[in-house]
Amino acid sequence: MLKGTAASEGIGIGKVMVIKEHTLEYTPKQIDDVQAEIQRFKKAVDTFCENTRAKAESVRASAGEKESEILLGHIQMIKDPFMEGEIEKLIQNGTCAESALENMCDTFIAVFSAADDELTKQRATDLRDVKTGVLSVLLGVEEVKISDASKGTVLVAGELTPSMTAGINKENIVGIVTETGGKTSHSAILARALEIPAVLSVEQALTKLEDGMEIIVDGSEGEVIADPDKTQIEEYSKKREKFIEERRELEKYRGQKTKSADGIEYQLCCNIGKPDDAVKAVECDGEGVGLFRTEFLFMDRTSVPTEQEQFEAYKKAALILKGRPMIIRTLDIGGDKELPYLGLEKEENPFMGFRAIRYCLKNRELFKTQIRAILRASSFGEIMIMFPLITCVEELRQGKELVEIAKEELKAGNIPFDENIKVGVMTETSSAGVIADILAKEADFFSIGTNDLTGYTMACDRGNSDVSYLYSPFQPSVLRLIKNIIECGVKNNIPVGMCGEAAGNKLMIPLLIAFGLTEFSVSAPSVLSVRKTVSEWTKEAADKVAEKVMTLLTEEEIVNYLKSVAK
């Protein structure tokens, strides 16, 4: 059995089709006719864009509007004036189009790859896809096609890029296995949209899985079984039927309130990265947005977005939500998510360096511009402001002070905004967890970011395979911090939400009910399953589970116990 990341739920049983990418080798050469080479590059970009639009249309028809935008984003990347301008400068200096493209793309790929979060790293995957696409046109190499795959095929690849995914016929593809990628990668997003079971980051998948081999893909548990015997096929066929029936059952929770079995109501929101993601949140029956990651408005650009540009983005999301609440996290950028135009210095340890609220408080005009934009948008919906990476009360106070200054400026200009806008804290550091009692007296709400909270508390990088075994929100230390944060919020009468991945974990939900969480914020496709899980627990039953969990000594004991009592 091979293990990987459970990226798209379900069971797939079929025969392997290994996707082998063409080599894109070329010999770099010095260019004499610069203008002709620039025209060759531009023609290749136009062809790439034309091909990509066709792929996006295919994805729109098979997966949806939101998913097609992933590919349309590739056009924006290569057509970015800064990107095109820098490539053309290299060509003007005598570099051939292939080398100029590679040099520029590789520079940005290195920047995005150095980030500490999957969403930013995904930009590197997208840019590699763009580079491959344009290079293929320049070299006259046909791109990998998977549209001819026969019924009952399991795709196995080193990396399944969005452009490859565009050719998937979901009637024929029963599973996806890759050597790279995480739950938030575009491969995972598209697999979930197409409802194809997927297991990503399977080590040596291309070595151990061969063309024509029969395999089982368990996208719920992150397991791949090669050459299964008759008993295993029967067992997983039954699991597959059960999973399909459970998915049908989830539909009865659409349009319902999120309530526990004893009638306690919770708010169930979605995490988004850009305004258009709010459409998916509404379509999936989310009750609002618990986390709007605003750093994506700052990426793939050559300069800081203006106040008007930011205002329009926040306003657009608010109007899509039609009165549903939205928490906007202020800029979470820094040494680990470098943007060339910010001129940030390379740091030895970016995880603990000049980032998020620390960067913003030292760049007050940039920060105030964002706050003004959020305040202006607050007149179009129920919007809240959240500061990331808070470690001490001084940071919260300085941020709130800047909010008040921005309010006064808007008042002076007779610009409308919500004067009672709430300002909260993303509790994602061990420090914030320890001083939650202090922060709760000055914050309007908490939202627990379990991804960073787990990493900081366990002093481990989940992307480092040597220490990733420590990365679990079910570690006793992490659970104690989560419990303390929620209890401090409850004691001070402020709402407490959770926007990290753990919020959608069915094993975590009874603990969050017991601790007193008031809001869950998850990926849009997880809304109905979380609502179902919440409905299966009473506070009394959850309290008993939590009481037992807090006596257990290891992460393994806790997870095994929670699995044994799962509904």
As a whole number of angstroms, the distance between CA 550 and CA 539 comes to 16
The H-or-E segment that residue 427 falls in is strand 423-427
Q: Interior CA angle at 304 toward 298 and 306, to 5°?
A: 105
As a whole number of angstroms, the distance between CA 177 and CA 169 comes to 16
Contacts 24+ apart (CB under 8 A), 48-57: 48/78, 48/130, 48/133, 48/134, 48/137, 49/75, 49/78, 49/79, 51/133, 51/137, 51/143, 52/133, 52/163, 55/163, 55/166, 55/167, 56/166
As a whole number of angstroms, the distance between CA 197 and CA 434 comes to 39
Contact (CB, 8 A) for 364 and 330: no
Contact (CB, 8 A) for 436 and 446: yes
**Strand 223-226, strand 214-218: pairing:** antiparallel
Terminal Cα distance for the chain, rounded? 27
**Residues near 382 by Cβ (< 8 Å), separated by ≥ 6?**
288, 323, 324, 325, 326, 418
Report which residue type is found at 525: P
DSSP 459: T
As a whole number of angstroms, the distance between CA 301 and CA 330 comes to 18
Strand, coil or helix: 340 = helix
**Residues near 260 by Cβ (< 8 Å), separated by ≥ 6?**
266, 513, 534, 535, 537, 538, 539, 542
As a whole number of angstroms, the distance between CA 425 and CA 443 comes to 6
**Residues near 28 by Cβ (< 8 Å), separated by ≥ 6?**
95, 96, 98, 99
As a whole number of angstroms, the distance between CA 443 and CA 318 comes to 23
Catalytic site residues? 186, 499
Q: And the tokens for 338? A: 């470098």
3-state secondary structure 374-424: HHHHHHHCCEEEEECCCCCHHHHHHHHHHHHHHHHHHHHCCCCCCCCCCEE
CA dihedral 68→70→71→72, nearest 10 degrees, is 80
Q: What is the number of alpha carbons within 13 Å of residue 211 lying toward its C-beta?
A: 5
Please, which residues bridge with residue 214 across strands? 15
Q: Interior CA angle at 211 toward 208 and 216, to 5°?
A: 65
Contact (CB, 8 A) for 408 and 359: no
CA dihedral 207→212→218→221, nearest 10 degrees, is -10
